[in-house]
């Protein structure tokens, strides 16, 4: 198979059309001494030698296969059944891009349809689209959706300060130039009453997270009261959530959410140094034509057999730019396939079991740590798998000690985003953390709280 479609005659014709005699003439702006620099490359190695060198380099990483991990903050280590990697590695899925030709893309389209169906059921919503780039993008797209629902006559978005700080940063970057006013995220604590005080006739959307970034879990009744108050102002409510938590707790669709977003990495996708991830996006049925991305639907072909097609694609690649609801031009299809495979394999009972293990192990860890001198839970409110603790010394020092002395990846340093909390750490415990790992963490925190750790000095 040829991968260079242009013949010498084609190249000569193109060069003549633009008035140059050779390809080198296109690079006249680059000084000649820099066009073909001499590369100081090492001597070549055999495949066996280069593999050994790469393995030695990889061994220097703090692999979570060899270290206990209590770091979450939006990216989580959960068990991934072997069948997930087997399915997503099949070449018909792995190499496929966009299913524009349904007659040859039935497998990809059906997988996406199944993903949408499971996400809608999981979140308690009417519709789910074929995914976004990540959880942060999904939150930003929720704001754009609300803007479109109100025909751009409302331009205020109220955001809880305990929405993931990275989501809030992406929201502001993503919507700059749209004339939106974003308020609420500068507050210190997640006070729903304070958020509602910011709502007025210009408010298009209120964004909250449940469980929130600090781990707090809000009850279904509390969320229902919030939804009712938001709707009384004529605004929409968007809830960012943890899909694993939905295996155990009330889904947002049952307490009045209009839009539900989530980071789908927890569902069968590895941490992978931060991506690619999966933005889950579900919403009420009457908002479907204001949705970004695309939807796969089930239909019948000319012979009456079941088939799948792209039912709705309200994006700029498919319709006039002025009519598009978003300029998002692709989705995370392979990551969505991993999530669909994970959900299918786990089933509702398996997902609930994972959520229960996270709940019980996190509460065991929190109760043990709260007994240590110098440590205390930031608040006594209900939580799922993450909780914040105040520490007797800077979190950066503690995390360095945990990694170097115990081989433990510690928690998230909250002073980066919530300085008013002081020296506070966000810890995450999932089904992957054994009791022995949790007990080692407790012992390490006790030790680091009692000893004087020398600071690194930079000269």
What's residue 362's pLDDT?
Answer: 98
What's residue 48's pLDDT?
Answer: 97
Cβ neighbors of 424 (< 8 A, separation 6 or more) are 378, 388, 389, 390, 391, 395, 414, 415, 418
Q: Which two tokens stand for residue 151?
A: 């025909």
Q: Identify the DSSP state of 156.
A: E
What's residue 225's pLDDT?
Answer: 97
CATH architecture of 82-343: 3-Layer(aba) Sandwich (3.40)
- In the sheet with 259-263, reading across from the earlier edge strand, the strands are 127-128, 279-283, 259-263, 236-241, 203-209, 156-159, 181-183
Other beta carbons within 10 angstroms of residue 3's beta carbon come to 4
Q: Which two tokens stand for residue 303?
A: 């012979």
Cβ neighbors of 123 (< 8 A, separation 6 or more) are 241, 246, 251, 252, 253, 260, 262, 280, 282
- Distance between CA atoms of residues 241 and 260, nearest Å: 7
State the DSSP string of 181-194: EEESTTSSS--HHH
Torsion angle, alpha carbons of 74, 325, 160, 175, to 10: 90
What's residue 2's pLDDT?
Answer: 63
Q: Which two tokens stand for residue 250?
A: 């009330």
What's residue 64's pLDDT?
Answer: 87
Report CA torsion sign: 169, 177, 262, 309.
negative
Torsion angle, alpha carbons of 98, 100, 102, 107, to 10: 0
What's residue 459's pLDDT?
Answer: 37
What's residue 458's pLDDT?
Answer: 42
State the DSSP string of 340-360: HHHHHHHHHHHHHHHHHHHHH
Q: How far is CA 140 from the centre of its chain?
A: 12
User: Kind of pairing, strands 236-241 and 203-209?
Assistant: parallel
Per-residue pLDDT of the chain (459 residues; tens, 9 = 90+): 566 788 899 999 999 999 999 998 999 899 988 888 888 999 999 999 999 999 999 888 878 888 999 999 999 999 999 999 999 999 889 887 778 788 888 999 999 999 999 999 999 999 999 889 999 999 999 999 999 999 999 999 999 999 999 999 999 999 998 999 999 988 878 889 999 999 999 999 999 999 999 999 999 999 999 999 999 999 999 999 999 999 999 999 999 999 999 999 999 999 998 889 999 999 999 999 888 888 999 999 889 999 999 888 765 556 666 677 776 766 788 999 999 999 999 999 999 999 999 999 999 999 999 999 999 999 889 999 999 999 999 999 999 999 999 999 999 999 999 999 999 999 999 999 999 999 999 999 999 987 655 545 443
Residue with tokens 């990846």: 409
């Amino acid at each position: 198979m040829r991968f260079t479609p242009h013949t010498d005659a084609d190249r000569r014709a193109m060069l003549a059309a633009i008035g140059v005699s050779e390809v080198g003439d296109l690079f006249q702006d680059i000084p000649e001494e820099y066009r073909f620099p001499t590369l100081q490359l090492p001597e070549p190695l055999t495949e066996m030698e280069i593999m050994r060198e790469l393995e030695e380099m990889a061994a220097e990483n703090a692999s979570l296969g060899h270290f206990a991990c209590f770091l979450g903050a939006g990216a989580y280590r959960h068990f991934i059944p072997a069948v997930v990697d087997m399915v997503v590695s099949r070449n018909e899925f792995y190499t496929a891009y966009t299913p524009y030709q349904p007659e040859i893309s039935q497998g990809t389209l059906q997988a996406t349809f199944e993903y949408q169906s499971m996400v809608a059921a999981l979140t308690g919503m009417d519709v789910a689209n074929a995914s976004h780039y990540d959880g942060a993008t999904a939150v930003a797209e929720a704001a754009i959706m609300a803007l479109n629902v109100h025909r751009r006559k409302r331009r205020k978005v109220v955001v809880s300060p305990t929405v993931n700080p990275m989501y809030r940063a992406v929201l502001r970057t993503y919507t700059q130039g749209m004339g939106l006013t974003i308020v609420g995220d500068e507050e210190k604590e997640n006070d729903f009453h304070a958020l509602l005080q910011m709502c007025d006739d210009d408010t298009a959307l209120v964004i909250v997270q449940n469980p929130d970034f600090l781990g707090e879990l809000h009850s279904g009744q509390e969320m229902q009261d919030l939804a009712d108050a938001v709707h009384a102002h004529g605004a929409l409510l968007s809830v960012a959530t943890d899909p694993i938590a939905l295996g155990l707790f009330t889904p947002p669709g049952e307490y009045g959410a209009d839009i539900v977003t989530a980071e789908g990495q927890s569902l069968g996708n590895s941490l992978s140094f931060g991506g690619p991830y999966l933005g889950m996006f579900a919403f009420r049925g009457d908002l479907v034509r204001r949705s970004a991305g695309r939807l796969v639907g089930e239909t019948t072909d000319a012979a009456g057999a079941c088939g799948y097609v792209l039912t709705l694609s309200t994006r700029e690649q498919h319709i006039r730019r002025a009519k598009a609801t978003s300029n998002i031009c692709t989705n995370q299809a392979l990551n969505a396939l991993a999530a669909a495979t994970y959900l299918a394999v786990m089933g509702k009972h398996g997902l609930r079991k994972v959520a229960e293990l996270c709940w019980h192990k996190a509460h065991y860890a929190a109760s043990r740590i709260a007994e240590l001198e110098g440590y205390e839970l930031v608040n006594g409110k209900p939580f799922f798998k993450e909780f914040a603790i105040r520490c007797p010394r800077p979190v950066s020092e503690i995390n360095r000690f945990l990694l170097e002395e115990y081989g433990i990846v510690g928690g998230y340093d909250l002073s980066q985003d919530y300085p008013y909390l002081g020296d506070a750490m966000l810890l995450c415990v999932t089904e992957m953390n054994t009791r022995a790992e949790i007990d080692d963490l407790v012992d390490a925190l006790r030790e680091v709280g009692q000893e004087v750790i020398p600071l690194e000095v930079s000269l």
